[in-house]
Amino acid sequence: MNRILITGADGFIGSHLTEELVKQGNKVKAFVHYNSFNSWGWLDALPKEIMKDVEVYSSDIRDSNGVRVAMKGIDEVFHLAALIAIPFSYNAPDMYIDTNIKGTLNILQAGRDLDTSRIFITSTSEVYGTAQYVPIDEKHPYQGQSPYSATKIGADRLAESFYRTFNMPITIVRPFNTYGPRQSARAVIPTIITQLLAGKEEIELGSLSPTRDFNYVKDTANGFIEIAKSDKTIGEEINIATQQEISIGELAEELIRQINPNAGIVCDEQRLRPEKSEVNRLLGSNEKIKRLTNWRPSYTFEHGLAETIEFFRNNMERYKTDLYNI
């Protein structure tokens, strides 16, 4: 039984990772963002039989003392806490630097002082920017096409420096676009689904031509776990990708077909990224993760979409479908 800390455990991927690690018999401490409502985010939606085995620790990833206290006695850290919304990063780059870069530094410094056995830093496919070649492998150049991606590049390179300088057991885990139950409505798949389920006949979207490589969230969580099982992954940067792509327009048409064939698509100018900031193509290579671990995707895109639609159908009261969520 490993003693595991998950930062960002209250979020989308973090809550799924928490749930799966508990099911596998691990002792999990969930690091959640402190708030006066005592909300634990998506952990509040997990079954009681899961949460009885989770220790919840409320703090802020930007607070070095809180991070250090949380990491005492921990064997493995999965660091997922981050600000991730790209449009909001245009408005608040300072917050992204403090959270994504300084927060990661807090994890690294505490891990070094506490001699933590394994640390997994969560990256993003956005660090690659628009593909210069496909499939995108881990040697692809980095491009800071938004303040968000720039801060994630900075956090990754900090992690690399601690591995190289202090020989720390660090792995950089780089999921491509993850979707599924519990995702924020700021992401494209929930944006489309919630508008359709709300009965809208005109689905408001930004650019339809960009392509994405979508991972179902349960496959992403299992990717983290399989990476953690292998010592071969120490010091590596590893994509979690399906090595398949679909355009936003094709995705929207498929969801319209499944939910409301009478709906159409209209362009909402505020949803368009600045031209040089838009990532036009993401198609990831999964050769490395398959070579170093036993991970394989378990869900087809069709299966993942079906489970996602069903979740949103049963949780529409949680989402503000009349607003553009950034």
Tokens at 107, concatenated: 């994890």
Q: What is the DSSP letter of 141?
A: P
- Is the per-residue pLDDT at 215 higher than 90? yes
Percent of the chain beyond pLDDT 70? 100
Instruction: Give yes or no for a cis peptide into 175 (omega within 30° of 0).
Output: no
- Is the per-residue pLDDT at 323 higher than 90? no
pLDDT at 304: 97
pLDDT at 325: 85
Total residue length of the chain: 326
- Is the per-residue pLDDT at 67 higher than 90? yes
pLDDT at 324: 87
Can you give the residue ranges of every domain in the chain?
3-179+216-240
Mean pLDDT of the chain: 97
Tell me the mean pLDDT in the region 68-97: 98
pLDDT at 96: 98
Tokens at 148, concatenated: 């968000």
Distance CA 169, CA 225 (A): 15
Tell me the mean pLDDT in the region 188-197: 97
Q: What is the DSSP letter of 133?
A: S
For the stretch 89-136, pLDDT in tens is: 999 999 999 999 999 999 999 999 999 999 999 999 999 999 999 999
Q: Angle CA(76)–CA(10)–CA(129) in degrees, nearest 5?
A: 80
Asked if the 3-179+216-240 domain carries CATH number 3.40.50.720, the reply is yes
Tell me the mean pLDDT in the region 151-172: 98
Distance CA 75, CA 117 (A): 5
pLDDT at 322: 82
- Is the per-residue pLDDT at 41 higher than 80? yes
Q: Are 305 and 255 in contact (CB under 8 A)?
A: yes
Tell me the mean pLDDT in the region 310-319: 95
pLDDT at 316: 95
- Grade residue 1 by pLDDT with cuts at 50, 70 and 90: confident
Model confidence, pTM:
0.97
